[in-house]
Amino acid sequence: MSRPIKLPLKRLQDVKKQKVVSIATAAAAGIVILLLVIFGAVKASSAKPFFEADIVNASRIGEETVTVNPNPYRKVKIFADGNNYVVRAKGSVADAIDAAGIEVDDDDLINVGLSEPLNTNTNIVINRVEYVTEVKLEAIEYATEYKEDDSYVVGFSKVLVDGEDGELAKTICHTYVDGKLASSDVVSTEVTEEPVDEVIVQGTADVNPIAAMSISQLDVPDYLALDENGVPTSYSNVLTGKSCAYSANPSAKTASGRQVKVGYVAVDPAIIPYGTELYIVSTDGKYVYGYAVAADTGTALLDGRILVDLFMESYDASCDWGAKQVNIYIL
């Protein structure tokens, strides 16, 4: 059985003092730890949070400064193809577009440069651009040229050359932005067919020159004109043969039923049908009977002795004509 140890009074007092000091020290240490915990919690609540990608360069916490690099990843909004994308990316605008899995080409419009660095306010808008080329054909209207001709009486006009429109090919580039037409521009033009100008002749003579030099008293049609050699400018055939002249009572009728008149002539209707319009002039050009119409016939014509018999206003006039070789132009 152990027996209690009795310490001297002075020694006992020293032991009690040491216990008190130890308790006080422990209490002080506890208070310090508690204060550090409270201080750390306050700093932690006021400090900015950082992401996993943040890099901490200094590990000593307390009185020394903790250095944190800015987070390289940014929250970026992208609008393209009618859709909104939100991605976290770092680097440039091109990197953000790539992170969203969006393909762009050189024609697309982007509101910021691809090489621009990302920041917290970066919003990217991509507009799709498409170019469509069209070739459009347009008519080139022909012009009208007027020519004056004293071979025709005033008021007469005739189309000598029919006008024809030409053709112009326009190459147009249509620009569509996000499927909507934004602009149309003509990039080139080419004349694929030249127009043909219309040519119209207009008479300038106060009196029809053919009527002025002709024996015939029929009204000269506007279409009839002569060239510099006295030949009609337009005819279907020409017959050459002997002509004679005759006269009759002004009230007499022709074989075709017309009343006789200077300008109505007798023919073989098997060769020149009744009603055929003619222009008759002597082969030497000195005598012009002029504009005539086949309207009568006779024995000398039917048996082929003469080609045409010209009606004259009087017996004397028919004698003056006599018998001449003539050209009969079938109009």
Q: Could you tell me the CA-to-CA distances from 161 to 4, 69, 155, 166, 230 in Å, in that order?
A: 153, 88, 19, 15, 22
CB 115, CB 92: distance < 8 Å? yes
Terminal C-alpha separation, the chain: 172
Residues 212 and 291 in one domain: yes
Residue 29 has what pLDDT?
61
Q: Which of 152, 178, 201 is the last residue of a domain?
A: 201
CB count in 10 Å sphere of residue 12: 11
User: Which residue type does 107 have?
Assistant: D
CB 244, CB 310: distance < 8 Å? yes
Residues 181 and 263 in one domain: no
Residues 186 and 231 in one domain: no
Exposure of 66 in the CB half-sphere (CA atoms within 13 A):
16
Residue 146 has what pLDDT?
94
Domain extent, residue 180, equals 131-201
Residues 248 and 291 in one domain: yes
Residues 163 and 211 in one domain: no
Q: Is the pLDDT of residue 206 over 70?
A: yes
Instruction: Give tens-digit pLDDT for 25-58.
Output: 655 666 656 666 555 544 444 444 433 333 334 4
- Distance separating alpha carbons of residues 280 and 278, to the nearest angstrom: 6
- Domain membership of residue 120 (yes or no) is no
Residues 234 and 193 in one domain: no
Instruction: Give tens-digit pLDDT for 86-101.
Output: 999 999 999 999 999 9
- Distance separating alpha carbons of residues 40 and 89, to the nearest angstrom: 32
Confidence of residue 158 (pLDDT cuts 50, 70, 90): confident
Instruction: Give tens-digit pLDDT for 102-148.
Output: 999 999 999 999 999 998 888 999 999 999 999 999 999 999 999 99
Residues 138 and 230 in one domain: no
Residues 147 and 195 in one domain: yes
- Domain membership of residue 107 (yes or no) is no
Give me the CATH number covering residue 257: 2.40.40.10
